[in-house]
Structure 1
Amino acid sequence: MDYDDQLERALEETPDIDAGGDRFDVPDPDIRQEGKLTVYENFQATVDRLNREEDHVMQFLQNELGTSGHIDESGRARLKGDFREVRIQDALEDYVEGYVTCSECGLPDTVFEREDGVLRIRCEACGARSSTGV
C-alpha cells in the first residue's frame, strides 16, 4: 500500500468534526450582588459546559479578578467584591482560550492529563498536546 492509499484510507476513517462556532457556547454568567459579594448563579452550569473541574475554574477566576471566594453547596461561585457580568465574561473567555480550546485546531474537545508531573491539555479531536502553564 503506497502513501496515497494510506492517506486516503486515513481520511475515510477520520470522523467528521463540525468546526462551526455555534457548536460550543458557554452560558453567559448570571451575576447578582449580595452585599459585598458577587454571586455567580450559574457557575456549575458553566463548569459543566467547559468540562473542567470547578476548583480549577474558580481558582482562575479568583486570580483574574484579584479576589477570593468559594463555591457554595448549591454550586454557585461567591466572589468577594463587586464584579459586573462583562468582567466575569471576559475572564471566562480567557479561560476558554487558555484551557479549553485546542491551540492547534481551535476545537473545545480537550481534556487535562498529567504527564511527568506536568499538567497538559490533550485535544481529542486532533491529538495535539500543549502545556497549560499551571
Structure 2
Amino acid sequence: MKYDEMLDRGLSETPDIQGSSERFAVPDADVRQEGNVTVFENFQQVCRDLGRDEDHLMKFLQNELGTSGHIDESGRARLTGDFNARRIDEALAAYSEEYVLCPECGLPDTVLDREQGALILRCEACGARSSTSG
C-alpha cells in the first residue's frame, strides 16, 4: 500500500472531534435584584457545571463587572450593583473562553493547574497546555 493510500485510510478512520464541543453549553445565570445588589441564585450550580472553584469564578466576575461581592451562606453570589442576566451571561461566556474551553481542540475537558506560580489550563482530551491570564 502506498503512503497516500495509507494516509487517506488513516484519516477516514480517525474520529472527528470537531463537533464534540457541542455537548458543552455555558450555563445561564439566574439573577434577581435585591436593592442595589444583584443576587446570582444558581452560582454554585454554574460553578459545578463549569467544573471550577467558586472563589476563582467570583474573583473573575468581580473583575469583569468592576464591582465587589461575596458568596453568601446559601452559596449565592451577591454582586454590588445592578447587573441583568445578559451581562452576567456575557461574563460567564468570557470566563468559559479563558478558563474552561481548550484553545486547541475547543473541548471543556480541562483542569486548572498552578506551575511555578503561573496558572495553566491543561486539556485532558488532547493534552494541550496553555497559560491563562489569571
The alignment's TM-score, normalised by the length of structure 2, stands at 0.85
CA shift in 2, pair 1:89/1:20, >3 Å: same
**Partner Cα separation in structure 1 for residue 69 and residue 109 of structure 2:** 29
| Aligned residue type for 1:73 | E
Q: Is the aligned partner of 1:60 residue 2:60?
A: yes
**Equivalent residues in 2 for 1:1-134, closer than 5 Å:** 19-134=19-134
Deviation at 1:116, TM superposition (A): 1.9
Deviation at 1:24, TM superposition (A): 1.1
CA shift in 2, pair 1:114/1:40, >3 Å: same
Deviation at 1:27, TM superposition (A): 2.3
**Tell me, which stretches of 5 or more residues in structure 1 are unaligned?**
none
Higher relative CO (Cα under 8 Å, sequence separation at least 6) belongs to 2
RMSD: 2.1
Moved more, 15-24 or 113-122: 15-24
Give structure 1 regions of 4+ aligned residues with deviation exceeding 2 angstroms. 14-22
Q: Alignment identity in percent?
A: 66
| Aligned residue type for 1:35 | G
The alignment's TM-score, normalised by the length of structure 1, stands at 0.85
**Partner Cα separation in structure 2 for residue 17 and residue 73 of structure 1:** 41
CA shift in 2, pair 1:21/1:39, >3 Å: same
**Tell me, which stretches of 5 or more residues in structure 2 are unaligned?**
1-5
Is contact 1:110-1:122 (8 Å) kept? yes
**Partner Cα separation in structure 1 for residue 57 and residue 19 of structure 2:** 24
**Partner Cα separation in structure 2 for residue 21 and residue 131 of structure 1:** 21
Is contact 1:36-1:80 (8 Å) kept? yes
